[in-house]
Amino acid sequence: MEPKKIIIIGSGIAGMAAAIRLAVNGHRVTVFEKNDTYGGKIASFEKEGYFFDSGPSVFTEPENIEALFQLAGENYTDYLRYEKLPVTCKYFFENNKSFIAYSDPERFYPELQQLSGEDLLRVKQYLANAEKLYNHAGAIFLNKSLHKRSTWFNKDILSVLKVTRLSYILKTLSSYNQQKLKSPEVQQIFNRYATYNGSSPFKAPGMLSLIPHLEFNRGVFYPLGGMQKIADAVFALAQKTGVHFEFNAPAQRIIHSEGKARGIVAHHQNHFADAVVSNADIYVTYKHLLGNEVKSQKVLKAERSSSALIFYWGILKPFPQLDVHNILFSKDYYSEFKHLFRFKNISNDPTVYINVTSKKDPAHAPAGKENWFVMINAPSNTGQNWEQIIGNTKKNILQKISGILGEDIEPLIESETIYDPLTIEKNTGSFMGSLYGSSSNSKIAAFLRHPNFSRYAKGLYCCGGTVHPGGGIPLCLKSAKITTELIEADFRKRKNH
């Protein structure tokens, strides 16, 4: 096939992955990025001797990254090294119980029983069902477009129907977990996976019960040097495959006429292409790049996902009670999510996530100190008084953390940086600061998520966390693969006609 000229808007992980796949196929690919560097939400900064990954902090399914390098004929270990963590996460509860989620099943199950008294056969069956659901339904719904007829006539669709029980669709994740698990602590652990796409376990469907499979059955990994190394590796591979990057070059609009995307305007110049891929927030794509108010408002009909309030703290001493990943649960989980999605606020007792990469990379903090990435689920920005919310939340979580760790934390904070939904929107272009675009707070949420192509402008494609199949590094990489397969299929159709 004759090489085509392709423009990609945005150098998030999905945009770069799509660029690599297209370049490997022989196309001439240019990525236009509004910022002065690559990576999108995968970013980092250093302050007062502390290093922080400022975006995603959990790394699962490394095979998605490996596949890119294999496709390009490169050895991924020349670009990126990672290790499986012996502890997936450490959980703390308000009833003074704690649980170490070991990656080794021989240690995981006895620890879980000691915490909860849960019937381990229930948990093993739960995770077996999660694996089955992921391997069958996930193989179709996470790797294919839901908006193409060919997906629904795929020969594997029958196996999907066999494993897809009504409870996955009709019950909420919380109701499903109550049915399958008896311990309140274990239910809460499995409920938290709704937050992996910015949703509420009390509204999102039981289908999300497949997510724990990735952590508990496959494991959580740590890229040596931090999450930033993932973006660095993918960028280096993109350059190796011949992708051209234009930084400080925001797309001003997508050129389209007669129902077809023809290129973009950047630096007040026209740049024409055979196909355009938007890695920008899908709302921003329609509202600002296409100037289509009607389409952009249609995107907003689906409830926005949650955002985050993040405190990056340099802490003056190490805490052996903590691991790389730590969750300090809210006592009233239902109230926490009611505040997030109904009241658009943060409850007085939010769940706190603490990521401490200096546990694995001592260079990320000065000797004898730790770098804490402290994140709380936050509502998307609707004009709240964030200064007041930040002040109240900081006071509440300091009290919570200090109580659980048995030491006053505030005097130990040597360095502080704060990101709120406004910061996230400014830095990443995520409309309203929503981390995942739309939430999954409905039974048909997966079908409401925007497809990887535009019906409004032929030749315009979309990838990234705000379109199918969703947010987070694994799904963004799958999004890039789906998108490039659609592009190549369309190129072949044009050639045949």
Q: Are residues 292 and 241 in the same domain?
A: yes
Whole-number Å distance between alpha carbons of 33 and 266:
10
Q: Are residues 328 and 290 in the same domain?
A: no
CB 482 within 8 A of CB 470: no
Whole-number Å distance between alpha carbons of 401 and 7:
47
Note whether residue 283 is domain-resident. Answer: yes
The pLDDT, as a whole number, for residue 159 is 62
Note whether residue 35 is domain-resident. Answer: yes
Which residue segment(s) compose the domain that 271 sits in?
A: 5-42+225-302+449-496
Note whether residue 68 is domain-resident. Answer: no
Note whether residue 384 is domain-resident. Answer: yes
- Say if pTM beats, i.e. exceeds, 0.85: yes
Residue type, 238: A
Note whether residue 172 is domain-resident. Answer: yes
Q: What is the pLDDT of residues 316-350, one digit of tens each?
A: 999 999 999 999 999 999 999 999 999 999 999 99
Q: What is the CATH classification number for the domain harbouring 16? A: 3.50.50.60
The pLDDT, as a whole number, for residue 302 is 86
Q: Are residues 198 and 231 in the same domain?
A: no
Q: Are residues 25 and 109 in the same domain?
A: no
Q: Are residues 308 and 423 in the same domain?
A: yes
Q: Are residues 397 and 361 in the same domain?
A: yes
Last residue of a domain, one of 198, 216, 234: 216
Last residue of a domain, one of 393, 428, 463: 428
The pLDDT, as a whole number, for residue 25 is 97
Note whether residue 100 is domain-resident. Answer: no
Number of domains observed in the structure of the chain: 3
Q: Which residues of the chain have pLDDT under 70?
A: 1, 152-167, 446-447, 497
Q: Are residues 405 and 328 in the same domain?
A: yes
Q: Are residues 146 and 211 in the same domain?
A: yes
The pLDDT, as a whole number, for residue 462 is 98
The pLDDT, as a whole number, for residue 116 is 94
Q: Are residues 155 and 183 in the same domain?
A: yes
The pLDDT, as a whole number, for residue 273 is 98
Note whether residue 462 is domain-resident. Answer: yes
Q: Are residues 356 and 264 in the same domain?
A: no
Last residue of a domain, one of 197, 216, 235: 216
The pLDDT, as a whole number, for residue 195 is 97
The pLDDT, as a whole number, for residue 1 is 67
The pLDDT, as a whole number, for residue 249 is 98
The pLDDT, as a whole number, for residue 167 is 64
Note whether residue 120 is domain-resident. Answer: yes
